[in-house]
Amino acid sequence: MKYEILGEIRVHGVSGVVTPRTRKTETLLAVLLAKTNQMVTSDQLLNEIWGEDPPSRANDALYVYISQLRKVLRGSGHHAAIVTRPRGYTILTDAGDLDADEFRRLAHLGQQLRRAGQFFPAAQTLRRALRLWGGPAFSGLIDSPVVYAYATLLNELRIECLEQLMEIELTLGGHREIVGQLSALITEQPLREKLYQYLMLALHRSDRRAEALAVFHTARQRLDMEIGIEPCQALRDLHQHILQDRDLGSSMLVSPLAAAS
| Max CA distance (Å), the chain | 70
pLDDT tens, residue by residue, 27-44: 999 999 999 999 999 999
Neighbours of 17 (CB within 10 A): 13
3-state SS assignment for residue 98? strand
Q: What is this structure's pTM?
A: 0.86
Query: 129, 152, 172: which is the final residue of a domain?
Result: 172
Pair (189, 157) in one structural domain: no
Grade residue 8 by pLDDT with cuts at 50, 70 and 90. very high
DSSP 42-79: HHHHHHHHHTT---TTHHHHHHHHHHHHHHHHHHTT-S
Mean pLDDT, the chain, whole residue set: 90
Question: pLDDT category, 152, cuts 50, 70, 90?
Answer: very high
Whether the predicted pLDDT of 257 surpasses 50: no
Q: What is the pLDDT of residues 217-246, one digit of tens each?
A: 999 999 999 999 999 999 999 999 999 887
pLDDT digits (tens, 9 = 90+) for 156-210: 999 999 999 999 999 999 999 999 999 999 999 999 999 999 999 999 999 999 9
Is beta strand 16-18 parallel, antiparallel or unpaired with respect to 10-13?
Answer: antiparallel
Domain harbouring 152, CATH code: 1.10.10.10
State residue 77's pLDDT score.
Answer: 63
Looking at the structure, tell me whether residues 108 and 186 fall in a common domain.
no
- Is 109 in the same domain as 138? yes
Inter-residue contact 170 to 202 (CB < 8 Å): yes
Residue 258 pLDDT more than 50? no
Residues 193, 207, single domain; the answer is: yes
Which of 137, 172, 207 is at the close of a domain? 172
For the chain, what is the domain count? 2
Residue 98 phi/psi, 5° resolution?
A: -105, 125
Same domain, 95 and 195: no
Amino acid 108: pLDDT: 97
- Asked which of 123, 142, 172 is the last residue of a domain, the reply is 172
pLDDT band at 254 (very low <50, low <70, confident <90, very high): very low
CATH number, domain with residue 224: 1.25.40.10
pLDDT of residue 252: 33
52-61, 120-129, 210-219: segment of lowest average pLDDT: 52-61
Model confidence band, residue 79 (pLDDT cutoffs 50, 70, 90)? low
Asked if the model's pLDDT at residue 97 lies above 50, the reply is yes
SS3 260: helix
Answer yes or no: do 105 and 45 share one domain.
yes
Q: What is the C-alpha separation between 6 and 137, in angstroms, rounded?
A: 4
Write the CA distances from 151 to 37, 110, 120, 154, 250, integer angstroms: 18, 21, 29, 5, 37
For residue 56, the model assigns a pLDDT of 87
How far is Cα 99 from Cα 109, in angstroms, rounded to an integer?
15
pLDDT (0 to 100) of residue 256: 43
Query: Per-residue pLDDT for 251 more than 50?
Result: no
Query: Which residue range(s) make up the domain with 38?
Result: 1-172
Among 14-18, 71-75, 78-82, 155-159, name the most confident range: 155-159
What torsion do the CA atoms of 15, 17, 18, 23 make, to the nearest 10 degrees?
170
Q: How far apart are CA 23 and CA 143, in angstroms?
A: 9
